[in-house]
Amino acid sequence: MTCSTERVDVASAADRTTRIRTLNDQLRQTGVGGRMVMTAGVAALPANEIAAILLAVANFDAFDKDNDPWGEHDCALLHVGDRQLFWKIDCYDRNLANLSPDPTDPAVTIRVMTVMLPEEY
């Protein structure tokens, strides 16, 4: 019976990771399912650069074991033109006071994606 339980736990962990990754990708690619913010350094850039940055973040797909060890697609460092940028997604409770009790459940989670210059991290 222990083996069956372990398989269920592994399967449910994989399902959980897949669900988190799907919700993170949805926010990053479409802006749906949370809030998207940028730091003051990014906001101060020309509008055409901001547009290129947001497009690059949405299209980012170079996830690997080095930059995405948990498989959740929750952060990355990328280059847009000559500029290096960092984006990350955090999952908070509905009051934005603490981490989400369950990042797989949009009913109890608000995702916040922040786009920033690395020096602003």
pLDDT in tens, 45-99: 999 999 999 999 999 999 999 999 999 999 999 999 999 999 999 999 999 999 9
* Contact between 72 and 20 (Cβ < 8 Å): yes
Q: What is the pLDDT of residues 19-46, one digit of tens each?
A: 999 999 999 999 999 999 999 999 999 9
What's the Cα-to-Cα distance from 39 to each of 19, 50, 69, 77, 115, rounded to whole Å? 27, 11, 25, 15, 6
For the chain, the domains span 2-120
